[in-house]
Amino acid sequence: MNLFSKYSTESSFLTGDLEKLSSSYMPDSFPHRESEIDHMVKVLSSILRDMRPSNMLIYGKTGTGKTSTTSFVVSMLREAAPEKVSVCYVNCQVYDSPYSILVNMVNAISSDEEDQIPPLGWPQDRIFTELVSRINSRRIYYVIVLDEVDKLIQKNGSDALYVILKVLDDSRLARASIIGITNDANFLERLDPRVRSRMNQESIMFSPYNAQQLKDIISYRLKGLVKEGSIDESALNLCSAIGAQEHGDARKALDLMRISIEIAVRENREKVTDKEVYEARDRYEMNVVHAAISSLPLQSKMVLLSSVVTQELSKRLMITGEIFENYRNICTELGFIPLSSRRVSDILSELEEFGLLSSTTRSMGRYGRTRFIRVLGDTGQFKRYLMEDSNLSHFMGSRISRQSRFENLDGAQPEMTLDSLDKAFSDFSGSEPSRE
Ligand X SMILES: Nc1ncnc2c1ncn2[C@@H]1O[C@H](COP(=O)(O)OP(=O)(O)O)[C@@H](O)[C@H]1O
Site size toward Mg ion (CB under 5 A) is 1
Min dist CB 419 to ligand X, Å, is 34
Q: Show the beta-strand stretches assigned E in 183-241.
A: 202-206
316 binds, among Mg ion, ligand X, none (CB under 5 to 8 A by kind): none
3-class secondary structure, 10? coil
98 binds, among Mg ion, ligand X, none (CB under 5 to 8 A by kind): none
CB 57 within 8 A of CB 204: yes
- Pick the piece of the chain touching Mg ion (CB under 5 A) from 61-69, 93-101, 110-118, 169-177: 61-69
Q: Nearest-CA neighbor of 105 among 90, 92, 119?
A: 90
32 binds, among Mg ion, ligand X, none (CB under 5 to 8 A by kind): ligand X
Min dist CB 290 to ligand X, Å, is 21
CB 143 within 8 A of CB 108: no
236 contact partners, CB below 8 Å, separation of at least 6? 215, 218, 219, 257
- Taking CB under 5 A as the criterion, which residues in 272-331 touch Mg ion? none
Min dist CB 68 to Mg ion, Å, is 8
Query: Does the CA dihedral 220-225-228-234 come out positive or negative?
Result: negative
Residue closer to ligand X, measured from CB, 204 or 386: 204
Min dist CB 185 to Mg ion, Å, is 15
Rounded-to-integer distance, Cα 416 and Cα 423, Å: 10
Q: Nearest-CA neighbor of 63 among 242, 202, 188?
A: 242
Q: Is 67 in the site for Mg ion (CB under 5 A)?
A: yes
Radius of gyration, CA atoms only, the chain: 25
Helix residue spans in 45-158 (DSSP H):
66-80, 98-109, 124-136, 149-156
Residue closer to ligand X, measured from CB, 225 or 250: 250
Rounded-to-integer distance, Cα 75 and Cα 80, Å: 9
Residue closer to ligand X, measured from CB, 218 or 330: 218
Rounded-to-integer distance, Cα 117 and Cα 175, Å: 22
Min dist CB 147 to Mg ion, Å, is 6
217 binds, among Mg ion, ligand X, none (CB under 5 to 8 A by kind): ligand X
344 contact partners, CB below 8 Å, separation of at least 6? 303, 320, 323, 324, 327, 338
- Pick the piece of the chain touching Mg ion (CB under 5 A) from 62-70, 155-163, 250-258, 299-307: 62-70
- Pick the piece of the chain touching Mg ion (CB under 5 A) from 28-36, 65-73, 363-371, 407-415: 65-73
Where along the sequence are the contacts to ligand X (CB under 6 A)?
23, 27, 30-33, 60, 62-68, 217, 221, 250-251, 254
Helix residue spans in 173-210 (DSSP H):
193-199
104 binds, among ligand X, Mg ion, none (CB under 5 to 8 A by kind): none
Rounded-to-integer distance, Cα 238 and Cα 24, Å: 23
Residue closer to Mg ion, measured from CB, 132 or 149: 149
Min dist CB 69 to Mg ion, Å, is 10
Rounded-to-integer distance, Cα 303 and Cα 344, Å: 7
Cβ-closest residue to ligand X? 65
Min dist CB 58 to ligand X, Å, is 8
Min dist CB 23 to Mg ion, Å, is 9
277 binds, among ligand X, Mg ion, none (CB under 5 to 8 A by kind): none
- Taking CB under 5 A as the criterion, which residues in 173-232 touch Mg ion? none
Min dist CB 331 to ligand X, Å, is 36
Alpha-carbon torsion angle 436, 374, 157, 126, nearest 10: 180
Cβ-closest residue to Mg ion? 67
For residue 126, is it left (φ>0), alpha (ψ between -120 and 50) or beta? alpha
23 binds, among ligand X, Mg ion, none (CB under 5 to 8 A by kind): ligand X
Residue closer to Mg ion, measured from CB, 54 or 62: 62
Instruction: Give me the residues that bind Mg ion (CB under 5 A), please.
Output: 67
